[in-house]
Amino acid sequence: MTHHDSVRLRLQAIEAQLREHQHWQDLPPDASVFESTQPFCMDTLEPLEWLQWVLIPRMHQLLDSEQPLPQSFAVMPYYEIALEASHPFRAIILPELEQLDALFAGDDD
Protein backbone atom coordinates (compact mmCIF):
# COMPACT_ATOMS: atom_id res chain seq x y z
CA MET A 1 0.00 0.00 0.00
CA THR A 2 1.38 3.39 -0.94
CA HIS A 3 1.64 6.34 1.42
CA HIS A 4 -1.10 8.08 -0.57
CA ASP A 5 -3.35 5.02 -0.12
CA SER A 6 -2.71 4.99 3.62
CA VAL A 7 -3.57 8.68 3.90
CA ARG A 8 -6.75 8.21 1.88
CA LEU A 9 -7.84 5.34 4.15
CA ARG A 10 -7.26 7.47 7.24
CA LEU A 11 -9.29 10.33 5.77
CA GLN A 12 -12.10 7.92 4.97
CA ALA A 13 -12.00 6.58 8.53
CA ILE A 14 -12.22 10.11 9.94
CA GLU A 15 -15.15 10.91 7.67
CA ALA A 16 -16.88 7.67 8.68
CA GLN A 17 -16.55 8.57 12.36
CA LEU A 18 -17.89 12.07 11.74
CA ARG A 19 -20.86 10.61 9.89
CA GLU A 20 -21.53 7.82 12.37
CA HIS A 21 -21.60 10.24 15.29
CA GLN A 22 -23.72 12.87 13.51
CA HIS A 23 -20.94 15.45 13.12
CA TRP A 24 -21.16 15.46 9.31
CA GLN A 25 -23.13 18.33 7.78
CA ASP A 26 -25.16 18.00 4.61
CA LEU A 27 -25.03 21.68 3.65
CA PRO A 28 -21.77 23.59 3.30
CA PRO A 29 -21.27 26.76 5.31
CA ASP A 30 -21.31 30.16 3.67
CA ALA A 31 -18.26 30.71 1.45
CA SER A 32 -17.17 33.65 3.61
CA VAL A 33 -16.09 31.30 6.41
CA PHE A 34 -13.23 30.10 4.23
CA GLU A 35 -11.79 33.61 4.02
CA SER A 36 -10.48 33.27 7.56
CA THR A 37 -6.82 34.01 8.10
CA GLN A 38 -6.75 32.10 11.39
CA PRO A 39 -5.26 28.60 11.63
CA PHE A 40 -7.98 25.96 11.35
CA CYS A 41 -10.44 28.79 10.52
CA MET A 42 -10.91 28.90 14.27
CA ASP A 43 -12.73 32.22 14.07
CA THR A 44 -15.29 31.00 11.52
CA LEU A 45 -15.62 27.21 11.82
CA GLU A 46 -16.05 24.81 14.68
CA PRO A 47 -13.15 22.33 14.96
CA LEU A 48 -15.13 19.40 13.55
CA GLU A 49 -16.46 21.55 10.72
CA TRP A 50 -12.86 22.33 9.73
CA LEU A 51 -12.17 18.62 9.35
CA GLN A 52 -15.12 18.20 7.01
CA TRP A 53 -14.92 21.38 5.00
CA VAL A 54 -11.17 22.06 4.86
CA LEU A 55 -8.84 19.21 5.81
CA ILE A 56 -10.59 16.26 4.21
CA PRO A 57 -11.36 17.95 0.85
CA ARG A 58 -7.92 19.56 0.56
CA MET A 59 -6.12 16.32 1.31
CA HIS A 60 -8.29 14.46 -1.21
CA GLN A 61 -7.47 17.13 -3.81
CA LEU A 62 -3.75 16.55 -3.23
CA LEU A 63 -4.21 12.79 -3.42
CA ASP A 64 -6.41 12.90 -6.53
CA SER A 65 -3.98 15.14 -8.38
CA GLU A 66 -1.00 13.11 -7.17
CA GLN A 67 0.55 16.21 -5.63
CA PRO A 68 3.17 15.99 -2.89
CA LEU A 69 1.69 15.70 0.57
CA PRO A 70 2.85 17.84 3.49
CA GLN A 71 6.17 16.75 4.94
CA SER A 72 5.39 17.77 8.49
CA PHE A 73 1.81 17.58 9.59
CA ALA A 74 -0.01 17.31 12.92
CA VAL A 75 -3.61 18.19 13.70
CA MET A 76 -4.19 16.14 16.84
CA PRO A 77 -2.48 18.66 19.17
CA TYR A 78 -4.99 21.31 18.07
CA TYR A 79 -7.91 18.97 18.72
CA GLU A 80 -6.58 18.04 22.16
CA ILE A 81 -7.02 21.72 23.03
CA ALA A 82 -10.02 22.62 20.86
CA LEU A 83 -12.26 19.79 22.08
CA GLU A 84 -12.96 20.01 25.78
CA ALA A 85 -12.25 16.92 27.85
CA SER A 86 -16.00 16.49 28.33
CA HIS A 87 -16.76 16.58 24.57
CA PRO A 88 -18.42 13.21 23.84
CA PHE A 89 -16.64 12.79 20.46
CA ARG A 90 -13.15 13.62 21.77
CA ALA A 91 -12.20 10.06 22.74
CA ILE A 92 -13.31 8.83 19.32
CA ILE A 93 -11.71 11.41 17.03
CA LEU A 94 -8.35 11.91 18.78
CA PRO A 95 -7.09 8.36 18.03
CA GLU A 96 -8.17 8.77 14.40
CA LEU A 97 -6.27 12.05 14.11
CA GLU A 98 -3.26 10.57 15.86
CA GLN A 99 -3.14 7.80 13.25
CA LEU A 100 -3.35 10.39 10.46
CA ASP A 101 -0.56 12.45 12.03
CA ALA A 102 1.62 9.34 12.35
CA LEU A 103 1.55 8.95 8.57
CA PHE A 104 3.28 12.31 8.28
CA ALA A 105 5.79 11.65 11.03
CA GLY A 106 7.24 8.67 9.19
CA ASP A 107 5.59 6.33 11.70
CA ASP A 108 3.17 4.09 9.81
CA ASP A 109 2.23 1.99 12.83
**C-alpha distance from residue 20 to each of 31, 46, 87 (Å):** 26, 18, 16
Q: What is the largest CA-CA distance in the chain?
A: 39
- CATH no. for residue 96? 1.20.1440.40
In terms of pTM, does the model score above 0.75? Answer: yes
| Residue 51 structural domain | 3-24+40-103
pLDDT tens per residue, the chain (109 residues)? Answer: 899 999 999 999 999 999 999 999 999 999 999 999 998 999 999 999 999 999 999 999 999 999 999 888 899 999 999 999 999 999 999 999 999 999 998 644 4
Q: How many domains does the chain have?
A: 1
In a domain, 33, yes or no: no
**C-alpha distance from residue 61 to each of 2, 55, 57, 58 (Å):** 17, 10, 6, 5
**C-alpha distance from residue 30 to each of 4, 42, 65 (Å):** 30, 15, 26
